[in-house]
Amino acid sequence: MISALTAIDHVGIAVDDLEAAVEHYGRTLGVKPVLRERVVDQGVEEVLFAAGGSFIQLLGALGPDTPVGRFLATNGPGIHHVAYRVSDVASTLEQLRREDVRLIDEVPRAGSRNTLIAFVHPKSMGGVLVELVQEG
């Protein structure tokens, strides 16, 4: 059975200056961070804003030689990935494997907010880096 896709969990947006972006979102959209987390093994610092049951995720690179740092050098600031919330990441990965979809993460791993996540390669998803998120 295919695991249900239940929501857009978040949109990940790469920014050059995290402090300036947080200030900008607060001033223009009136949002306040609900979570701030440094994920050292991914080389990223993230700030989440709630938008209904979904989130906006601002991503600042911890250095130039990190995935988001390299993304910024190539593309500049902008949308980095889209995250779909699913009921079961492991079974979604199984389904994608059966369909020969190229995966970045073969098995689910821990994300922020006590979630399980896995990334799917943009080459298999119409040029969009897709993240699957299962809430804890």
Sign of CA dihedral 116, 63, 127, 99: negative
Please identify, using beta-carbon distances, which residue of 59 and 96 lies nearer to Co ion.
59
In the shown chain, the binding pattern of residues 69 to 98 toward Co ion, with x for contact by CB under 5 A and - for none, equals --------------x---------------
CB of 57 to Co ion, least distance (A): 5
Q: Which residues pair with 45 in a beta bridge?
A: 38, 60
CA distance 112 to 29: 23
Q: Which stretch, 23-31, 48-56, 93-101, 125-133, contacts Co ion (CB under 5 A)? A: 125-133
Helix then strand count (H, E) for the chain reads 3, 8
**Which residue is listed with tokens 């009136």?**
30
Shortest distance, CB of residue 62 to Co ion, whole angstroms? 15
Active site residue 121: no
> Does residue 12 touch Co ion according to CB under 5 A?
yes
Scanning the chain, the segments in alpha helix (DSSP H) are: 18-29, 67-75, 89-98
Is residue 80 part of the annotated active site? The answer reads: no
Q: Does 131 bind Co ion (CB under 5 A)?
A: yes
Find the angle CA(75)-CA(93)-CA(58) to the nearest 5 degrees.
35
When CB distances to Co ion are compared, the closest residue is 12
134 catalytically annotated: no
Query: Hey, which residues are catalytic here?
Result: 10, 46, 57, 81, 131
What are the residues binding Co ion (CB under 5 A)? 12, 83, 131
